[in-house]
Amino acid sequence: MPATHTTASEIHADMLYLASQSARRRQLLDQIGVHHELLLPGADEDAEALEAVLPGEAPEAYCQRVTLAKLAAARARHVARGLADGPILAADTTVALDESIFGKPADDEDAARMLQQLAGRTHRVITAVAVIEAPHPAFLPQLALQVSSVRMRVLEVDEIVRYVASGESQGKAGAYAIQSQAAAWIEHIEGSHSGIMGLPLFETAQLLRGIGLRF
């Protein structure tokens, strides 16, 4: 009798491994009813090293490369930990002003610099999402890219100082979060509000349904 091939979607059709420390991404998956478990880096992994920018790298290319690198790291982590089969999702969000990449600020001074440059300008918020049906070599990653345009009003210096002092800037690409008080600075958006938060729900849902996830 010939052997049958069981896909990851048949094994865990209602569960997803999320390779992200972002509370926003967890909330967004909850919003659309996707059951998930965290698959986070161990102490021996240098997750920040994956986000290093290569010389001359375009923002959209950077975001896609980093997302696929995060997914590859999560895939290896899954195998090393001997976890049950299931799809894995990774994502990355970056902010771009023209061709300059604004990642997570190194400190408060860096955060203030970013906000000063974004103020009164239109920037791009780029989010890439990658999923894989199972960690095995037979499965290939599926990737989607969502780009939104965001115009931020002119900011006063004291507004920037207060915002940075609140701690909201740290850990956020471009030094702000649209779901924070910085929402009052946004004049206009074209694109995906959830993508700006860190996980474009339309594109994510399309990818997950494409690998057979039920939600």
Is residue 215 one of the residues assigned to a domain?
Answer: no
Q: Which amino acid is at 168?
A: E
Q: Is 158 tagged catalytic?
A: no
For residue 72, the domain's CATH number is: 3.90.950.10
Rounded to two decimals, what is the model's pTM? 0.91
Which tens digits make up the pLDDT trace of 52-106? Answer: 999 999 999 999 999 999 999 999 999 999 999 999 999 999 999 999 999 999 9
Is residue 2 one of the residues assigned to a domain?
Answer: no
Residue 13, pLDDT score: 62
Number of folded domains that form the chain: 1
Is residue 3 one of the residues assigned to a domain?
Answer: no
Is residue 93 one of the residues assigned to a domain?
Answer: yes
CA 181 → CA 58, 84, 96, 191, distances in Å?
Answer: 29, 40, 21, 20
Is residue 52 one of the residues assigned to a domain?
Answer: yes
**Which structural domain range is residue 195 located in?**
8-210
Flag residues of the chain having pLDDT under 70. Answer: 1-13
Is residue 199 one of the residues assigned to a domain?
Answer: yes
**Catalytic annotation, pick one of 30, 44, 46, 92:** 92
